[in-house]
């Protein structure tokens, strides 16, 4: 791995660890089915995303960067359709969702999920947010309803 790849990997790892550390009080008891599914989606999303991001950085070398990567999303109409969805969802809707919903639920530092999505994988960040949101909902539920989740 080159220095840039290592930097992004360490930054993504640090942000993931920080999110888990900030929410460590939520990790009492087992996972719900939804939470488990989210983790099962998160891991391959991260691995597959990083596989292609590393391949991109190696193929384009000094050209590689956010601007260049983004322009490649629009090389044909099919990729442009997916690219515009990715950009709008990740840069506008995902931060709105995590910050608004996260604050309503009392989640700690909900803005970190957006930052993490930029250096890990958008799908990984969504899955992690959903899993921790599920934990937060259970922790906030009245005691009589907690066991039902």
User: Which tens digit of pLDDT belongs to each residue from 45-67?
Assistant: 999 999 998 899 999 988 988 89
Q: What is the pLDDT of residue 2?
A: 80
**Which tokens hold the place of 133?**
């949101």
Q: What is the pLDDT of residue 67?
A: 93
Q: Helix or strand or coil: residue 35?
A: helix
CA atoms within 13 A on the CB side of 67: 2
Residues near 123 by beta carbon (within 8 Å), at least 6 away in sequence: 41, 42, 45, 49
Give φ, ψ of 146 to 5 degrees.
Answer: -60, -40
Q: What is the pLDDT of residue 108?
A: 92
- Percent share of the chain, pLDDT over 90: 75
pLDDT beyond 80 at 116: yes
């Amino acid at each position: 791995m080159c220095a840039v790849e290592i930097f992004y990997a360490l930054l993504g790892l640090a942000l993931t660890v920080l999110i888990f550390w900030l929410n460590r009080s939520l990790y009492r008891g087992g996972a719900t089915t939804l939470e488990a599914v989210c983790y099962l989606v998160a891991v391959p999303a991260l691995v597959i995303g990083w596989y292609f991001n590393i391949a991109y950085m190696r193929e384009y070398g000094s050209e590689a960067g956010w601007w260049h990567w983004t322009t490649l999303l629009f090389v044909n109409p099919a990729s442009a359709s997916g690219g515009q969805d990715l950009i709008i969802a990740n840069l506008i809707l995902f931060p709105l969702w995590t910050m608004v919903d996260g604050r309503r639920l009392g989640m700690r530092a909900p803005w970190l999920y957006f930052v993490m999505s930029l250096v890990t994988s958008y799908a990984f960040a969504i899955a992690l947010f959903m899993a921790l949101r599920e934990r937060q909902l259970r922790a906030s539920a009245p005691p009589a309803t907690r066991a039902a989740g």
